[in-house]
Structure 1
Amino acid sequence: MTAKKKINIVLIIVVFGLWGTVAYKTVSQYFFSKELLVNKTELNDGLNLNEINKDTFNLEKVTRDPFLNRQNNTDSFVSIKYYSKIPNLKIKTNPVVLKPKVIINWPILSYHGYIRSKDKDEELILVKIDKRLYKLRKDDEIEGVTVKKVYNDSLELNFNKEKKIIRLDQSFLR
């Protein structure tokens, strides 16, 4: 046998031994517990359970505020009564008027990619707005449409305080 097989056999025996011990301790609680209870009751015959010793002490009013670290005036405490049942009160509430959402008509947009310059880090983004092709840079605005973020496959655009993400036009990849 090789060394690996010997180690595996030893480890398997150790695991079975551990699980056997756990199983024995679990099962022994249910089957052998009567003998242990008899022995415990015999040992505790001299114990008197009727005797109760009370530990009593007086609570005093706290005159120092532990959070603000200053002395409190005992006359300044006000008693507050709380009622558990609140009478039925009719409270007039103003109805909430929802403002109608203005429907914003976005122009027809399509993203056709970007052109990266060898000399500069800037990119020219090719965007078609209402069937006209524009070359834009980041944060440029044309016809109310602003380019906010540029990704390889999409653009994030703003138009009248609304955000929209458009994907790369798949027809120009062929």
Structure 2
Amino acid sequence: LNISAAGLEPTSRGLIAVNDHCQTSVPHIYAVGDVIGPPSLASCSMEQGRRAVCHALGLDPGVAPEHIPMGIYTIPEMSSVGLSEQDAIGKFGSALVGRAKFYEIARGQISGMTNGLLKMVADPDGKELLGVHIVGEGATELIHIGQMGLLHHIQVDRFIENIFNFPTLAEAYRVAALDIAKQRSRR
């Protein structure tokens, strides 16, 4: 790209450094997407572009995104948001993990799903939601429930106390939360 002609220099990784507004070291030049580095997701690139335009026009872009979900459109789909089990253990020393297998959920049985799993990661006390990881049909759709839970600091028990449409795969959140509650009760 010959970015040096624009007064920019790539980082040691060949990326373009930007601030929180996607503004480069040259104030009137913005960069978004893969050229600024991870997470290199189309959804993030679009939001970065929106935030950059808002900043350039002097508009308030709102609160910066947190807990960005990742989706892999394979068969089966995979999606993740928040801390992994390993990251939670590294940060807190331990973690409680609840699992819901799709074939155990009514919708999974009705649809003949033999594969699929929702994994919910909680703090060592099993109270605070830290992450959600899903493999299976509809994973990239289901992940947004976990994303909203993380954004709003929802406690694990809120997934137990609330009603999900039945039969839906979203019920897996309740089943995984019940699994965490069961582990918590054994302590």
TM-score scaled to structure 1, two decimals? 0.20
Say which one has the larger Rg: 1
TM normalised by structure 2 equals 0.19
Q: Larger % of strand: which? A: 1
Higher helix share: 2
**Larger RCO (alpha carbons 8 Å, 6+ apart):** 2
